[in-house]
Amino acid sequence: LSTIETIITSSRATVECIVLGFIRKNTRRITGYLLEDSTGDVPIEFSGDVQYQHPIILENSFVLIEGIYYNEEDVLVISKIGYPPPKIHEKQSSHEIASHIDARMFVILRDIHLDDADTFQKLRILLTGYDSLESCPDCFVLIGPFCYEEVSTDYSRSKNSGPELPYCDFQPKSSKPAFKSSPIEANKHNVNRCLAELYTNKMVLTQGHMQYVWDNSGKRYLDMFSGIVTISVGHCHPKLVDVISAQSKKLWHLSRAYVYEEIYEFSSKLARRLPSSLSTIFLCNSGSEANDLALILARLHTRSFDVVALRNAYHGCSLAVMGLTGISSWKFPLPTSFGIHHTTNPDPYRGKYGGKACRDSQFQVQRDCICAPNECLACNHYIEDLQDLLNTIAPSKGIAGFIAESIQGVGGVVQYPKDFLKKAYQLIKQRGGVFIIDEVQTGFGRTGSNFWGFQNHNVTPDIVTMAKGIGNGFPLAAVATTPEIASVMEEALYFNTFGGNPLASVVGSKVLDIIDEEMLQQNSYHLGARMMVGLKSLMNRYENVIGDIRGKGLMIGIDLINDQKSQTPMEKADVNAILEDCKNMGLLIGKGGSFGNVLRIKPPMCVNDADIQFALEVLKISFENHLSRKKGKIQ
């Protein structure tokens, strides 16, 4: 269907394009240029003197379109249209754009993969409004480029440097080093090394704005990991900067031993987001603290001690909640697991049971389904494992509780069979236990379809813990529960010095406002769906690299494999090389999972279409580089 052409611009730079076809009936002379097809049948004239056998692109005189995708109704959609920078940066209406498209211009679709003739035909109709060449007016379409050589040092990139980052009008301040020595060198001597940095070739980040961060050389990166799923509304969001500045001049810190209005405003606003039964809010500083408090509440309320968690779960790294965490790499050889029991992780992809219809996900696992009509047998098997565990640990007495993430985060964006949490809830309640949901990563609209992840499972927990996105990077966390359960904390004094102080409370309150005002939950839903469609296309193309894609909204995991047949997790060195490639091209993503082979896509919820397309293109190039390295082409 497609051919590769080398196109020459008027400055003699070359552009590699995939030419799917020209739509043109007549020729027209434009200031000495005669634009015609690239077959060589009709020469291309330049200034009336020199003839070329390839089209000439008049720089700054073509229309650039990015982001072709199918929406939920299977309709082909263009998500972005405009001139390449620097000519036009601001958005234009479709009418204004249409007035520019005529026979004098190329229409270029950048980095688009069209894999069948039907899609091309739909695209042709979409761009021209005509369903046949015979009825089409004087215009033509050039599809490409998938890569191109540098034309301008400011606005184009070579094949090795990757695609161009989406336009950003924010100008970072120049960074002056705070130390005589490099921060990276200082890190070796003064900062603990218990958590290794993600990258081999480290960069020093100095500034952030919305979905972007900059290093000390001025290079910009698209942050698709949001500071480990923490930046919910955007780095240094101007509205948050304003409220922090105003509050810091008014009242910075008071403890709960005093009365101040900020904590009441935030707590009531947060409670209105939750089921009406969860009306009592405790404020603290981190997810580990929140889950620690949830354990205390469950054990005091039930007067029982045993708590069930999932294997592969992550709930923090304090001494108390380290026992809840079910990933060995986050555990020390310490007595952390008194009364903690782990049941089988209900993972439809890498778990014991699973099939093609188990998950509440846009795309399902590629394995044979063992389920019967209207019944998920995989879910039933995992529930049987939980039942066996309960019979073993508490055959004649009650249980304190059960805790799970709505979607496992650090564990690799694992989604459970659709009814697992609902059926687990029933088992735990039969034993008199408390049902705890960890919303540290999934809360505040990130999953798109609902504000809270547990709402996707049709359960109402007894306790909800939350952190990270609640403060957009400010140290803030919370526990929500019923007044009855909360009352057990009145048996003794309980105190958290910084939890919910005036500054933290105004930050949390403004984050909730921004999520509403900027429709970030809706943005997570739509852009997450588009990201998943793009990843599915990459999965089809790189079946020996991607074993599974999963997630909801802007909480997405890409399970990397060594090969399609074995589905074994990709080796750590290969995963790190892919991360390094992405970073070098300006894309920051995370990794996780028990084997460290899952790429984690969890950006600030303010990302846009252009960011999604950029991330997909960088991932595509990174996967190509990985395959080339495997073949020995890249040393």
Highest mean pLDDT among 30-39, 214-223, 352-361, 369-378: 214-223
Q: How many angstroms separate the CA atoms of 20 and 112, rounded?
A: 11
Q: Residue 193's domain is classified under what CATH number?
A: 3.90.1150.10
User: Is residue 609, in this structure, part of any structural domain at all?
Assistant: yes
Q: What mean pLDDT is predicted for residues 78-104?
A: 37
Q: Are residues 338 and 473 located together in one domain of the fold? A: yes
Q: What mean pLDDT is predicted for residues 459-472?
A: 98
For tokens 């109709």, the residue is: 125
Q: Are residues 300 and 398 located together in one domain of the fold? A: yes
Question: Is the confidence at residue 62, as pLDDT, over 80?
Answer: no
* Length of the chain in terms of residues written: 635
Going through 216-339 in order, the beta strands assigned E by DSSP cover 220-223, 280-284, 307-310
* Poorest-pLDDT segment among 48-57, 153-162, 202-211, 414-423: 48-57
| Rg over CA atoms, the chain | 27
User: Is residue 635, in this structure, part of any structural domain at all?
Assistant: no
Q: Are residues 390 and 276 located together in one domain of the fold? A: yes
Tokens encoding 502: 């005036």
User: What pLDDT does residue 441 have?
Assistant: 98
Going through 226-355 in order, the beta strands assigned E by DSSP cover 280-284, 307-310, 340-343
User: Is residue 240, in this structure, part of any structural domain at all?
Assistant: no
Q: Are residues 592 and 467 located together in one domain of the fold? A: no
Write down the H helix ranges in 433-498. 483-486
Q: Are residues 307 and 272 located together in one domain of the fold? A: yes
User: Is residue 119, in this structure, part of any structural domain at all?
Assistant: yes
Q: What mean pLDDT is predicted for residues 186-209?
A: 78
Element (H, E) at 67: strand 63-70
Split into its structural domains, the chain has a count of: 3
Question: Is the confidence at residue 205, as pLDDT, over 80?
Answer: yes
Query: Coil, helix or strand for 190?
Result: helix
Boundary of a domain, candidates 454, 487, 517: 517
- pTM of the predicted structure, to 2 decimals: 0.74
User: Is residue 164, in this structure, part of any structural domain at all?
Assistant: no
Q: What mean pLDDT is predicted for residues 79-103?
A: 37
User: What pLDDT does residue 95 have?
Assistant: 36
Residues 466 and 439 sit within 8 Å (Cβ to Cβ): yes
Cα 254 to Cα 21, 105, 270: the distances in Å are 68, 63, 20
Per-residue pLDDT tens digits for 232-254: 999 999 999 999 999 999 999 99
Q: Are residues 27 and 123 located together in one domain of the fold? A: yes
Q: How many angstroms separate the CA atoms of 110 and 610, rounded?
A: 11
Q: Are residues 311 and 430 located together in one domain of the fold? A: yes
Q: Are residues 299 and 354 located together in one domain of the fold? A: yes
Residues 605 and 163 sit within 8 Å (Cβ to Cβ): no
10 Å Cβ neighbour count for 570?
Answer: 24
Q: What mean pLDDT is predicted for residues 25-42?
A: 32
User: What pLDDT does residue 86 have?
Assistant: 31
For tokens 């999972």, the residue is: 593
User: What pLDDT does residue 119 have?
Assistant: 55
**Cα dihedral 81→83→86→91 (10° resolution):** -40
User: What pLDDT does residue 99 have?
Assistant: 39
Question: Is the confidence at residue 410, as pLDDT, over 70?
Answer: yes
355 vs 225, higher pLDDT: 225
User: What pLDDT does residue 451 have?
Assistant: 98
Q: What mean pLDDT is predicted for residues 505-531?
A: 97
Q: What percent of the chain has pLDDT over 70?
A: 71
Strand partners, 266: none
Q: Are residues 394 and 484 located together in one domain of the fold? A: yes
User: What pLDDT does residue 189 have?
Assistant: 67
Query: Coil, helix or strand for 599?
Result: strand
Domain that holds residue 584: 183-229+520-630
